[in-house]
Amino acid sequence: MTAFRKYRKAIKVKLKTRIMALKGQKTTSDFLEWEKMQSLVLKLERDGELKFALLISTGSYIGLRISDLLQLRWNQVLNQDYFTVTEKKTKKTRRVTVNPELQEILTRLFNELGADQSDFMFANRFGEKPFSIQYVNSKLKEIFTKYNIRGQYSSHFMRKTLGRRVWEVNKYSDQALLLLSQLFNHSSVSTTKIYLGIRETEISNLYLSL
C-alpha cells in the first residue's frame, strides 16, 4: 500500500469515528419554569405562532418524546380524557391522561387553526406530514432568541419542564422522582436526577428549608 493510500484510509477512519461520535451524543437542554412556559405559550398565540404554542403546551403537559409527540393527530387527543400511544423508542404502550387545562388550550387552538380532526397536530406547511425534529429544534432556537429567553434549549425542554413541575408540586419528594423515572422509562432515579438537572446540593438544601 502506498503512503498516499495509507493517508487516505487514515482520514476516512477518522471521519467515520467523528460521525459515529456525533450520532452518539446526547442532546442537552434546559427546562422552563412552569409559569414561564405558560407565558411563552400565550405570547406565541398572541403573535400568530399557533403551531408552536400548541407544540410547547402539549409537550410540556404530557411529556412525550418529540418523536412520539410529532405523530399525534387531533382525534387522538381532542376532547379525550386520555389516549394511548406506542412509544417509538421503547415499543411500550403508554396511557396518557389529558390535563383539563391542556384540553382547554387544545380546543381553543384547534378552532383557531381551523384544523380537521384527522390532521396531524403538528403538520408541516404542506399538511401531509408532521414537522421534522430538525425543524422543531431550529424553530425553538429562533423562538427563544426572539423572546430573550436565555439558556440551552432543544425539543427535550418540554419533557424536562414537565418533570421539574411534577417534582415541584409534589414537594420535591423522592417518591415523585421515582414516579418520574418510571414515566420517562429511566433505568434509575439517579438517571432522572441527571436528566432533570437536579444536583445533590439542591436536594440537600431542601432539608434545610423545613
Share of the chain above pLDDT 70, in %: 82
Question: Residue 22: what pLDDT?
Answer: 36
CATH 1.10.1840.10 fits 34-154, yes or no: no
Question: Residue 78: what pLDDT?
Answer: 97
Is the model's pTM score more than 0.75?
A: yes
Domain ranges, ordered by start, for the chain:
34-154, 170-210
Contact 22, 70 (CB under 8 A): no
Residue 61 CB-density burial (10 A; 0-12 exposed, 13-18 middle, 19+ buried): buried
Q: How confident is the model at residue 60 (pLDDT cuts 50, 70, 90)?
A: very high
Residue 134 CB-density burial (10 A; 0-12 exposed, 13-18 middle, 19+ buried): exposed
Query: With 90 as the cut, is the pLDDT of residue 204 above it?
Result: no
Contact 63, 163 (CB under 8 A): yes
Bridge partner residues of 167 (DSSP)? none
Query: With 70 as the cut, is the pLDDT of residue 50 above it?
Result: yes
